[in-house]
Amino acid sequence: MRGDPVTRLLESDEKQSPSFAIEKFGQIKLKTYIRMNNEMQSIIKEYYHVIGITPNTSRHQEQVKARAAMMSAMRQFKLTTTEIARVFGADHSTVCYHSSKHESNLDHWPGYRDNFIAASRLCNETMRYKAIQSRMKYVDSQLARFNRMKKDLEETIQSKHYG
């Protein structure tokens, strides 16, 4: 099985109806997954703009350094190696390798620290924004619940002629 959550569900051993993937994975989770992938692509695009490199898949030192720094920055936010690798068009083992070399790279690879700082800042800004959005969504859902509760109580009062 592949590491992709959608693929894992679609290739699972369970008997599947045509709507199985949507029923089990959920439309909302699928949209969240797609949105997260798009956001990671946006962060990477901005990152390469900030560090002044045109991204490619070559093994030139500057390209490898740029990818390694961003992969390590993304790992700080509990993204899986598979999720990160997919965005870079790489294998998860590449992300594992760069993560294992991160500390050494900070100290010994000229320019890596600057790339990592740029990548971390972009990831931090995005994650902070996402956290605020998530909290706002939670507050909105709570307000909706309280408003429904208030309406139900008002209807109860009116139907019982309290007051």
In contact, 115 and 65? CB cutoff 8 Å: yes
In contact, 146 and 100? CB cutoff 8 Å: no
> How far apart, in whole angstroms, are the C-alpha atoms of residue 121 and residue 150?
43
Q: What is the pLDDT of residues 20-75, one digit of tens each?
A: 344 444 554 555 556 677 788 888 999 999 999 999 989 999 999 999 999 999 98
Question: What is the signed CA dihedral for 156, 159, 160, 161, rounded to 10 degrees?
Answer: 110
Domain count of the fold of the chain: 1
Query: Looking at the predicted structure, is the pLDDT value of residue 105 above 90?
Result: yes
pTM of model > 0.85: no
Domain that includes residue 155, residue range: 5-160
pLDDT at 72: 94
pLDDT at 11: 47
